[in-house]
Structure 1
């Protein structure tokens, strides 16, 4: 916009001029050549028709009574509850907020798409390709293929959202999307101190896997994971408190089956299905561990002694059987004698035998003398 006072006044094809006389608006001047009258105090404001129609310091309403001017303008009014997308010759130009917006329509075609932001979700009539040009006016929510989500307007639930990408206007309605992960999840209960029936305090590490099957029910539970954690903790305490320590150590697998069964009884209340459960570790106090190690060592020693006695008995029985056979069979006796000599010769360099007595008697005599 420029103000021109010189003569002659030339208005180009892409311009229009507003003629003023003594400060008051007179009429619209089309492209051409004009002479201004100084004594009439005539002035003009020249406007570029490719720009928006606006005159700083003056209300546009002062000019809209002029039908000739009005015919060359496009006017769009945007309500407080609206956003309007402005297109020039079919291409997106700008987003218009509440107010009156005026454009020249002589060289370019202006079209508008009205969006009621009281309904926040951006509809299919809006070309999503322009969303990058609307930063600050909308929010985008993505729901992954392993998720489901609940849509809330002003804290009132509207519907579930399937996996996909959703756009919402930033307007008077508060939009909240709460997502739920539908993948298998794991809950770890670690270092829980529990007391057995025989008053032994131990620490238990337990794990369970579950999957959400009713997302809406999960959303209605405050601190869902905390509540499931406490339910698991109470079931374990109930079970461990009915068993003595020795029984508990023997029944580790049965603990998992019992807990899984009890959890699934509560599964409908939480909107989940519990898939598996198990004991990871049972950690005993130091003094109990020492006692159990002592008992274990004693048991192993007793087992070792029993095995040793069995072996000694078997060896003695074998010797007895061998002796009986030797009494009954001189050839066997002779073979045994030779075997005995072979063993002696392996350990002794030179052996001298005197006559008299049999060989075994002399060797026994020799060995007895050496030991003395």
Structure 2
């Protein structure tokens, strides 16, 4: 005769099996079983884990209802229900639809709640407060991934989509939605003024010169709901229209026209996007060309053209000044020809200029000799 001994501690429960069949649920204590061979076995469960999982769980439900009622809390959910399990009034688990679960009654005080998923996909406000900051909780919530937790910051709005359809617009705040039986997503949209760069655009002018142009623009949403109802991706739409406007402005003008008036690009692109974006809920507030980059060969040719133009302008100015100086000398000569006093003043002016350049002058014959002999204009 063989004697088998089983020990169940106070924080445990056990399932006693004979040849794999259910015999009883063992409470804390010591149990002896005698037989000719080892026929008994025990599955021990620590009460720190309330969930009971065993291949005989369905058997117990069907054939041992008294045992189930004594030792277990049964929590069965339909396909359109979700469940909440609380331990000591603290949420510890979100149970998905269609679940059939059994929990040890002796584990700890528990309560259960059912959520009707056919009524609303919004998580109630009191439950939202419990799951808003799961990382700061003392105990994690099992199944929290079934809840979409959304924080819409100030200056933004959220576009709520359920099963791919736009449902509503969310103002700044915190929201949560059930993911069970549906596909829920929230797109955050910044309603403030935003910057956009259109860089590296290779465009041919009307005279077949390739230019690389960089454009900067500031844009914003006028009506977020209208924008997302008419455009799948408003940002990409604004980018494309700026590209089209830039190509229309550059491709229809020659290089000389663009270099003479760079503002024409801003004006043409601004008019283009204002017309094409009207009625779509988005608006370009301002734009401007940052850079116009010429090819290397064109840069050299343009530099030569500018150098030649500046040289020609300098030559014209030089000739103009020479002509003016000659005309002034001619007028002075005519005045001195008819006026001896003016002629004498010119002689004295010439003497003064000479004296400025000479450190030392030796005079022989008196001041009259200096005034009359040193400088004498012959008429």
- Asked if residue 91 in structure 1 is aligned to residue 102 in structure 2, the reply is no
Taking the aligned partners of 1:99 and 1:296, their CA distance within structure 2 comes to: 87
1:161 is matched with which residue? Answer: 170
For the 8 Å contact 2:4–2:34, the answer to whether it is kept is no
Taking the aligned partners of 2:133 and 2:306, their CA distance within structure 1 comes to: 73
- Deviation of 1:77 after TM superposition, in Å, equals 1.2
Instruction: Give TM-score scaled by structure 2 length.
Output: 0.69
**Which whole-Å deviations, capped at 9, do the CAs of 1:96-125 have from their partners, x for residues lacking one?**
345333334468431123345676543324
Taking the aligned partners of 2:248 and 2:50, their CA distance within structure 1 comes to: 77
2:124 is matched with which residue? Answer: 123
2:161 is matched with which residue? Answer: 152
Instruction: Give TM-score scaled by structure 1 length.
Output: 0.70
Taking the aligned partners of 1:267 and 1:13, their CA distance within structure 2 comes to: 73
For the 8 Å contact 2:203–2:250, the answer to whether it is kept is no
Taking the aligned partners of 1:35 and 1:233, their CA distance within structure 2 comes to: 86
Taking the aligned partners of 2:320 and 2:267, their CA distance within structure 1 comes to: 38
2:267 is matched with which residue? Answer: 257
Taking the aligned partners of 1:190 and 1:13, their CA distance within structure 2 comes to: 75
For the 8 Å contact 1:21–1:43, the answer to whether it is kept is yes
- Deviation of 1:150 after TM superposition, in Å, equals 1.7
Taking the aligned partners of 2:81 and 2:278, their CA distance within structure 1 comes to: 44
Q: CA RMSD in A?
A: 4.6
CA gap 1:245/1:61 in 2 versus in 1, 3 angstroms: closer
3-state SS of 1:66 partner: helix
Taking the aligned partners of 1:359 and 1:20, their CA distance within structure 2 comes to: 147
Taking the aligned partners of 1:53 and 1:99, their CA distance within structure 2 comes to: 12
3-state SS of 1:268 partner: coil
3-state SS of 1:122 partner: coil
**Which whole-Å deviations, capped at 9, do the CAs of 1:67-102 have from their partners, x for residues lacking one?**
7x6256432113455442211221233343453333
Return the index of the structure with the highest Cα Rg.
Answer: 1
For the 8 Å contact 2:159–2:169, the answer to whether it is kept is yes
For the 8 Å contact 1:14–1:48, the answer to whether it is kept is yes
Count matched residues.
353
Equivalent of 2:56, from 30, 55, 58? 58
CA gap 1:231/1:16 in 2 versus in 1, 3 angstroms: closer
Taking the aligned partners of 2:18 and 2:363, their CA distance within structure 1 comes to: 158
Taking the aligned partners of 2:326 and 2:362, their CA distance within structure 1 comes to: 32
2:283 is matched with which residue? Answer: 273
For the 8 Å contact 1:50–1:104, the answer to whether it is kept is no
Which deviates more from structure 2 when the two are superposed, residues 94-103 or residues 261-270?
A: 94-103
2:373 is matched with which residue? Answer: 362
Taking the aligned partners of 2:338 and 2:171, their CA distance within structure 1 comes to: 91
For the 8 Å contact 2:121–2:178, the answer to whether it is kept is yes
For the 8 Å contact 2:160–2:186, the answer to whether it is kept is yes
Equivalent of 2:309, from 271, 295, 300? 295
3-state SS of 1:232 partner: helix
3-state SS of 1:291 partner: helix
